[in-house]
């Protein structure tokens, strides 16, 4: 029998620690269902030197199980330079960093106009 998938609940401290945004909550339990990377929203993915393909413009969404190592892997592979600046800040500075530094880029999609539901 395969091992049961672990259901790690979302830690609210990860919002500031990893620059995340809550996207969806369960209706009855109010538990977090998905979060998105605000670095993807504000800065986009960084281009890698010598890469064969262009960097994607998609926003990274994380679903349960919510694990810090998954966030770190994404930050180090897709937002290395901006993550380095962000991780050096204090928590008070992190709370306002993304709003001050980068304007939000709105995409011309149905989800951006009407939401996920």
User: Model confidence over 69-108: pLDDT tens digits?
Assistant: 999 999 999 998 989 999 998 988 888 887 766 555 555 5
pLDDT at residue 93, as a whole number: 87
More confident residue, 54 or 71: 71
d(CA 33, CA 73): 20
pLDDT at residue 41, as a whole number: 86
Token digits for 102?
């980068």
| Residues 6 or more apart in contact with residue 46 via CB below 8 angstroms | 55, 78, 79, 80, 81, 82
Helices (H), 38-108: 38-42, 68-78, 80-87, 91-101
- Phi/psi of residue 73, each to 5°? -60, -40
Provide the CB-side half-sphere exposure for 21 (13 A, CA): 13
Question: Per-residue confidence at 20, pLDDT binned at 50, 70, 90?
Answer: very high
pLDDT at residue 76, as a whole number: 93
More confident residue, 63 or 9: 63
């Amino acid at each position: 029998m395969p091992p049961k998938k672990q259901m790690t609940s979302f830690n609210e401290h990860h919002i500031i620690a990893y620059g995340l945004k809550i996207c969806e909550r369960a209706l009855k339990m109010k538990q977090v269902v998905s979060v998105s990377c605000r670095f993807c929203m504000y800065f986009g993915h960084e281009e890698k030197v010598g890469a064969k393909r262009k960097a994607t413009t998609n926003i990274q969404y994380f679903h349960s199980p919510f694990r810090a190592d998954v966030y770190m892997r994404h930050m180090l592979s897709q937002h290395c330079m901006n993550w380095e600046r962000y991780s050096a800040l204090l928590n008070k500075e992190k709370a306002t960093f993304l709003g001050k530094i980068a304007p939000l880029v709105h995409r011309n999609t149905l989800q951006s106009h009407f939401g996920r539901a």
